[in-house]
Each structure stands twice: as structure tokens, then as C-alpha cells.
Structure 1
């Protein structure tokens, strides 16, 4: 009989794809040696622990079951004298979970005693617990001592502390001889579906859910809070929490369970304490309704299951109008060498035309209203560069060819210059040079912030130099730090009406409101600086939660069917649409002021020269 049992145990763990086994037994030393030899022949690592000599005062898992493998197989003989005491320790240590594949053997086939022991056991929905018994034989029937059958039961609980009941489902009958074992017949339909295909419905439990609501006070009646979270109106109000609650309701339908809500006004006081995240970390909640960021500190306590969105906190501002004069824009089309060559060319042509006019008056007897001086031909050459005509034209063929060459060259240069100048002044509006949070902290731009819980937490907890400088210079040094925190509606409108005003916001909240109140060209004029690096939001559960794998599979199903993306597109906005044709072209005074100043100074110089001429003529 011992050999048949050993064959059965080996058959079970080989089919379970387990390569490491802990055998909790009260067998003889010879039986343990025989079984160890069988396991070694199949390359299975094993450890044998005698139940009768266990030290129950120590940490059971650390001393006997500590491992670094994905899963560990454990055999437990329920017919040992101290079996019930050890089972009580296993229950208190919450070891019936997905980290271990348990095989509990009871040769007495006492189902009533098993239910007594496990009705209130802390078994999860992810438990890999198989209860095996000897198949009862009919009284007086012939039995072959070299052939016997074992019956296996699949055992789990949807959550005892949440109201779950013990589930025992007969699985199959395994027949063993002295050499091997095989499945004789299936006794249910368990084998036709996957593990979680048989456990996807949990109608007997009431799951504890922590729900974050940031836009309504927690004193609001619960029915009003639920109606707000379910409503599709005003999608820009608390969109992340309402998006998460929508997904939570889908989980509720998929699990078929009931839920009890605990409402919180924030995600957490710090990364792992307080708020909804604190409830999840301390096991006060089984679920958090909204996705949240995964950090190095949080990952010690919770496990990210699937990415469910993005989180972006940005500083938005329109490009401030510069108060400085930008006359260099009129010189930028050509570099200094080109300007020098062009001026020299105009002077050479002016001298050439002056001599041509002089030769024509002397030799060709040309009649002109006046004799052009060198200054007149210089003005003529400069006028051609400015696309102006002339009242005098050479009469000789050579002179006219020189005149034509001058106008042709200046025509090409003029068109090239104006095209570059227009593209510079009337092209894409210039963006601000402020690209980082540190540069923003060092600037003189006023700042406002949306009063969001996670913004408070980040600014208080982050030790990055740029963040600390930003907090010190823009918040602590302000005349009234409390007035820096303003509602999103007021902040967005100030960004629109006051170029240069910076408002810190969360994109999914503010973008819908912004698009409704900004003109298209104002959206294109926005500058964006990240308050914190863009991060992904994850659906996360406690590391020891028994619902992790079931939740992950349900989330994958929502992703594959498109349900998830449908809700995400409606509730979460992470991008503003700016079409290039939306730009409104307007040249400011910083560019036109040099022209007006040039005109004023030229008239002043003209008046001075006129006065000098009058004085010379009089005296």
C-alpha cells in the first residue's frame, strides 16, 4: 500500500508541473528513503519534514517552506497524530495560497472531519489545494492489493472573512498499481475548464472596496456619492475616480460578488499610508476603485497587475509677450558678410551710374532736368534695393544695361529678404525658452496650482532639487501661499487671459474644460512643462491578495474586447489638439518698434540737416 501511495503522490505533482516538493509526513525512515529515491529519478527536489517532531513555536513558513521558486508543492499526511495542530498553524499563517500546491491525503476518507477542519479555514480563491482519499470499497468485494484507486477533490474558498463558503468539488479518480498511476475517469467537469474558469464567479462574498472621491465632501450621503460616480454628465469633474469606478462596476459584474464601499477623499498621505492606498496596504480593503501610480516604496506592498492609463501633471502657460525690442529679426535673413557685400555692390553701382550720367551730358548732349550728383546716384541705387523707381534713366544702351542689371539684382535680393522676414514674423508663434521645472522656478512668471491631493503629496514628499526650488520660490516666498491654490476653472481662464501666468494642473481634469474655453490659436500658443515625469497608472492589489490573478485575467478580457479603451477615451484626456491652420498671425510691438524708432530718428536727422543748411545760406 505504501508503494501505491508514493506512486500517487509522484503522479500528482508531475502532472502539476512542480519540481520542488516538501513532504510533511510521519512515515518510517525507510519509506522516506524510498520516496526520495523516486523523486530523484524524476529530477524533483525534495525535503522531508516529520510532523511529529515539528517545532510549532517558530515561524512555520520561514523554517519549513521558505523558497524562491514560483511555486512549491507540499504533501501533507492528515493521518498523523499532530496533523490537526499543524493544520491550525497553516491556517493562522495563511499558507493556503497560490504560492503553494497542496496535496492533503486522508486514508480514512473522513469528509465530515475535513469539512469541520476547513469550513472556517483561511483559504483563498487562488488556493491550489487538493484533498485526496482512498476510494471506498464495497463491503465483501474482492480487492487487489497491488491495485487501488484514489479520489481527488478540488478545494477553495472565495474568501472566508468576506462571507465565502468552503467549495469542495470532486475532480477525478486515479488508479495506481505498483509501477504507475493514471486517471481512470473524471467525476466532474472541472478538467474541461481552467482553474479560474471554474472560480470566476463569487456570489457568496462581499468585497471591501475603498473608493476615492476628490470633488465631493465625504459628508455627502452615500446614494448621492454613488450617483455622482455612476453619472456620465460633466466628464471633466473628477474623471479619474469616475473612470476607475466604472471599471470597478465591470469587475463586480464579472465576479458576480457584492461590494461594500468605504469613501476616501485622497489616495494617501504619503506613498503607503492613509487614504485609499493605506486601506489597501493594511488589508482594510480588498480593492481600490481607481488606478494609481506604482513607486519603489509601494511595490513592496502591492503588485501592479495591468496598465490602465497615464498620469500627467503639467505647468501650462501662454507665451508671454516680450518687453524687449527685437530689431535683429530684420537683419537675420542675411549674415554680416552678405550685408557687407550688398552695400559695397550698391556703392560701386552708384559710382558707375554717376560717371555714366556725366559722360552722357558731355558727349551725348543728353537733356536731363538736373545733373545727377554722386549723392543722387547713391540714393537711386538704395531706392532700387528698396523696390523704388527713379525719375532719371540713362539714355545710352550701356547705361540702360547697367541700370537694368542693378534693378534685376536688387529685385532678387529684395524678394529673398522679404520671404524670409515674413516666414520669421508670421510663421509659427515662438515658444517660451522655459522647458524644465528648474527653469520655471528661476523665472519671474507667477504660478497657481490646482488643489489636488496627489499634488500636495508630491510637492511635500519629493526631494528632487528642482521640485524643492520650485516649492520654495513659487509657494513659500509668495505673499500669501494659500492664494496660490486656486480652482481649475479660475486657473485655466487666467492662463487664457494673462499670457505668462503659469497654472499647474492634472491633464485629465483640465483639458476638457480648457478646450471649451480656449480659441484654437490660444491652444497652439500654450507651453507645457512637466511638474513630474509622465507615469502610467496601474490596477494594483496587495501582494498577498488571493484575487490578483483573477483580476488580471478579467482586465485582459476587458482590454481584448475594447470595453476598457471605450471608457478610457471618454473619461481621460491626455492630449490637446493643435492644428497649424489655427495660428493667428499678429506681429507685436517688439518687432515693429525698431521701424518706428528708425523713422523718428531719420526725421530728426533731416530736421537737423535742414536747419544747418538754412544757417549756412543765411550767413
Structure 2
């Protein structure tokens, strides 16, 4: 086989000018397409090729000129075709001389060279027109092709431009030729498609595509699944995507043969995919009617199009009641600094009361009504803080004034303290679970919706927090025990103490139907993985990707996509604050500190009572012996 340099009579990159008959056409075509580089397939002799390149050196367009006259009855290797047409440029012009069309069969070996980035121009004459169209009819054209045929008019400087495409050549589409415009030296290339190419070609004449939809439940009938919107909270993403694909079917006038599969598509031990991705990989279907999320392992085998569904899954749970140590509940309203200030103030008050009451006791000895002992002053001050009222009646103006301000200070402190406890019971407790790590460390049980996306997530994730949560709360001796159907998982959430990871489009309608307003107001959410779009999916290097993109964006522009999302993707249940019912249940745990303090007080008082009884008994016995000894004592005789 001859080398590439042997096949190419001329392989040089020059600036192209104009000395041959179609130079005006090529120049105006490149200006209209905004292309600066390309490939010309011709069969002229070496001298003419050299003149062509040298004479077309004034416009600034770089082309590779390939002489194909020696390729008759030879197979042009596909790898060498790649070297010719893969130029590492986004857009490339491809010019084929109609006089060489019989030698150009090699150019139609791969359909990718007729995709959007390749702009084909076939200059021809009325005599060669049928030959040129026959060549193109055998080519793998599709709706995305950009192929123009330029017919030279009699004057020699004007061209009639034809637009040539096939909606889907591999699906027996109808070869279509339409008059597009004219080209001349004065007016340039006046042959552009009015509007968007896919809108102009939207009539695909009923070609049939194959598609597949994910139906997780094998008992569901496919037709009912696709046509009914009953219980639309179940498998919303698949049914939503099927609806959008049906809009595209009506817009482009193609038909669909739909089959079912039970999986999105995950790698199997043999290195291939199952489910929807496997069908696309083996080219058994053209595109999916269920959306897919981006996964790196899928990128080599499928193409992604517009992401029209937003997947949001989250852990949903009722806000756990924060149960602190009982003594903290009573200490919570005041900070440590405030408590220290109150204790110091009580000490100071006791000192001032000691001075005032002692002075009153000395001045009013005949009317002594005030006890100035330290134990009494402690009881007086503590009683004032506990709103017990006065236990004595000071007589002097100074002692009465101090007592009034002691009671005033104590009532202000008591009111603030009691109001803080009530407000603590009234307001919602602060949120303690703010991320996945907090959820993993909490005492909540957890479960996962039984869908393949979440099962596969735990298989492939490298997030250490997610792995820790799975091993701690999801994975048990029976691995299936941590996965639940949506109704079962949300019923456990309703009971409390349980966090359930579920798609919001599935969970929200169930919550609205089964939860009370108070329970809805208690719900909190923590995401395990980010919200992400799910995309329309097609075969790798599919010629219909941009077609589907245009259809989906058209739905976005006219508002249909928003309407469909609003209909199929449930809104978050609203918490009506004004309708909340406040119920407080103070349990024994919260009340236990009061009982503990009372118990300590009883024990201490009993201990002190026992000690007092013993001391009193000892004193009584001593007095008894003393009296007895005094009675039995010998009295001295006196006369």
C-alpha cells in the first residue's frame, strides 16, 4: 500500500486565492460559513493543482489539497482519511470536485464526517448534477449534515445552491434536496437556511427510532406506565422524560418503538453495561426515554444531551428533641457569668443585711423582732429570690429600705429566669444536624430508598462520611434491611427518630398526604450528594444529539418545560406557622433535677435531725446524771 505521501500528489498548506473557475464559490462559501481551514479533494494534474493553490493565495484561507485521481479501484484506509479530515479544528470545509466524484467513495466510510462541524460543498455542472446527487444519496447523511451542491450557471460566475440532507439515512429516511439560494461574485454566498437548521428540517417523514425506558417494577404495564399520570410521584423522572421525548416526536414527525429495561445502566463484571446504557452501548436503541446522570464510566459509550430533569435526593427526618442533662435545663436561661454575679450579689446582700439588722437589734432592744444570724440571713435572701415574701418585719427605715430593694432585685431576676424557661419551651429547638457527619454521629436511625442510583452510590463513592454512615446505620447482617420503599421509609420518619434518604419528587407528595402540619413543620433535610441534572442520552457519536438539544431548548423557550417540571416534580410541603398547635410534655427526665435537689435536702435534714437528736439526748443524759449525783451527794452537818 502506498504511503500517505505517495497518495497525496500535493500536501501543502498555503493561502488560497483565485485563478480557477470555482475560486469565487469557495471563497464566498468560506466567508459565509466563517471557516478558515479545510480540505479539497480534486483530480487535476500536478500543474493545475499547483496553479490553483498559488493563485488562491490572497484571501487567508488555509486548505489541504488532496489529489484523488490515483485512488480508482483502491480502498482508501480509514486511518489515512482521519489524517486528512481530522485537523484538530472545530469547523472544517470539505470541497469535492464533481469531476472526481467517482473516486470519492472513500469519503463516505464514516458518518461522523457529515456531522455539524464538517461543511461539505460539491461544485458541479448541470451535466454532472445527477451523478453528484447519486453520490450524496449513498452517503450517511442525517438531519445534522451540512452539505451544499453548487450548480454552475451558463454565465460561469453564478451558482445555484442546493441543500442536501437525509433525516436519518440509517433509518430509511427520505433523501431531500431543496433550493437554497444563489452565489455570485457581487452578492456573495446568499444561500443560508432561514432560521434554525433543525426547525427547517423538522419534518422527518415518519422515520422510526428505537428507544428504551426504565421501568423498575416488572408488574407495571409499559403502555399504562407511559400514558397515565396516576400516582405521578412514583418514578417521576422516567415518565417526565418520556413526555418530553413525545413532544420531540410530534415536533419532528418521527415514530418510536419503545422497549423497557429495569436499570439505568451499571458496569457488570464482563466490562460492559447493563440496562439502558447497555442498550445504547450495543446500539440496540437510538436514545433513552429515561434520563441519566453524568458518570465518568459511561462517557466512553454514550453521549449526553440537554439535562431537563433535576435529581434532588435528601435525608428527611423529624427534628430530634434535644434532651440535655436535667440540671442544664434549669441553668440554661442564665450564662455562667450571670450566675456568678447573682451569687456574689447574694453574699453582698447578706453582708448588708447583717449590718443593718444587727444595728436595729442594738437600737431596739425592747422590741427585738429581727434575727440577725447568718442562717436566718441566708434563708431570708434565698426566700426573696424564690418569691416567698418577708419572714420578718424590720422596724427601722434603713432596714425596710434595704429589704424593699432586695425584693425588687430578686423579683426582676426571677421574672427574667422564669420567662427564659418558658420561651425555651415555646421556640423551636436549635438545629443540631447540619451535615452528613452530624447525622452519622446522631442517635437517629437511618434508611435509604430502594433504588439502583442509591445502591450504586454506596458501591462507588469514596466519601468517607457516606461510607461511615452506611456501615454504621444502613448495613446490617442482612444488607437489604437498610433499604425501604418510599411509603415504608416515610412512615418511620413520621413516627420519629428515623432519617430516610429519598428523592424529593417521590417524598413530598407522600408527606403532604400523610403528615400533619405540626409534623411537616418539624421536618429537616440533609443532602448526601449534590443536586444534579439528569440528561437525555443517546448512542456515542449520535447524529441526533443536537437535534434533541434543540427540541429540549425549544420546550424551555416556550415555557412547556417549566410547566412539565412543575407538574411532575412535586413542590416542598409548606409549614403553616399560624396553624401550629403547641403541646408541651415535660417528662420525668426534665423534672428529675428538682426531685434530686429535694431528695438531697431531705437526706441532709434527716442527717442533721439525727445529729440534733443525738446531741440533745447526750445533753439530757448529762443533766439527768448531774441532778442524780447532786441528790445523792452527802450534805455537811450543821448545827
TM-score class normalised by the smaller sequence: 0.7 to 0.9
Confirm or deny that 1:56 pairs with 2:76: yes
Aligned position for 1:206? 208
Q: Secondary structure of 2:127's partner?
A: coil
Aligned position for 2:120? 102
Deviations 1:126-164 (A, max 9, x none): 1000112233x5xxxxxx6xx443222100111022231
**If you compute each CA radius of gyration, which structure gives the higher value, 1 or 2?**
2
Q: Secondary structure of 1:414's partner?
A: helix
Confirm or deny that 1:171 pairs with 2:168: no
Contact between 2:22 and 2:123, CA under 8 Å: does it hold in 1? no
Q: How far off is 1:451 after superposition?
A: 1.2
Aligned position for 2:463? 464
Deviations 1:262-300 (A, max 9, x none): 211121124982222333344332222233212334344
Aligned position for 2:162? 153
Aligned position for 2:411? 411
| Gap regions ≥5 residues in structure 2 | 1-17, 619-639
Contact between 2:27 and 2:59, CA under 8 Å: does it hold in 1? no
Alpha carbon RMSD of aligned pairs, Å? 3.0
Q: Of 552, 556, 568, which aligns to 1:555?
A: 552
Confirm or deny that 1:544 pairs with 2:546: no
- Aligned in 2, Cα 1:489/1:530: closer, same or farther, shift over 3 Å? same
Aligned position for 1:312? 312
Q: How far off is 1:617 after superposition?
A: 3.6
TM-score, length-scaled by structure 1: 0.87
Q: How far off is 1:76 after superposition?
A: 0.7
Confirm or deny that 1:269 pairs with 2:287: no
Q: How far off is 1:542 after superposition?
A: 4.2
Deviations 1:86-145 (A, max 9, x none): 33542445422212000112335344434433334311101000112233x5xxxxxx6x
Contact between 1:163 and 1:204, CA under 8 Å: does it hold in 2? no
Question: Which deviates further from its counterpart, 598-607 or 252-261?
Answer: 598-607
Aligned position for 1:389? 389
CA distance in 2: counterparts of 1:604 and 1:569, whole angstroms: 67
Confirm or deny that 1:333 pairs with 2:338: no
CA distance in 2: counterparts of 1:60 and 1:583, whole angstroms: 78
- Aligned in 2, Cα 1:518/1:227: closer, same or farther, shift over 3 Å? same
Question: Which deviates further from its counterpart, 390-399 or 113-122?
Answer: 113-122
Q: Secondary structure of 1:196's partner?
A: helix
- Aligned in 2, Cα 1:9/1:109: closer, same or farther, shift over 3 Å? farther
Aligned position for 2:15? none
Aligned position for 1:67? 87
- Aligned in 2, Cα 1:347/1:443: closer, same or farther, shift over 3 Å? closer
CA distance in 1: counterparts of 2:232 and 2:375, whole angstroms: 73
Aligned position for 1:493? 491
- Aligned in 2, Cα 1:418/1:322: closer, same or farther, shift over 3 Å? closer
Kindly report which structure 2 residues correspond to 1:214-233, keeping only aligned pairs within 5 A, or say none.
214=216, 216-217=217-218, 220=220, 224-233=221-230
Question: Which deviates further from its counterpart, 205-214 or 117-126?
Answer: 117-126
Question: Which deviates further from its counterpart, 292-301 or 479-488?
Answer: 292-301
Deviations 1:308-359 (A, max 9, x none): 2322232333344567624223223334343233223213322432443343
Deviations 1:346-393 (A, max 9, x none): 133224324433433442467576745432221121122223311423
Q: Secondary structure of 1:74's partner?
A: strand
Q: Secondary structure of 1:126's partner?
A: coil
Aligned position for 2:562? 565
Q: How far off is 1:588 after superposition?
A: 4.9
Kindly report which structure 2 residues correspond to 1:271-286, keeping only aligned pairs within 5 A, or say none.
273-286=273-286
CA distance in 1: counterparts of 2:355 and 2:158, whole angstroms: 125
- Aligned in 2, Cα 1:148/1:323: closer, same or farther, shift over 3 Å? closer
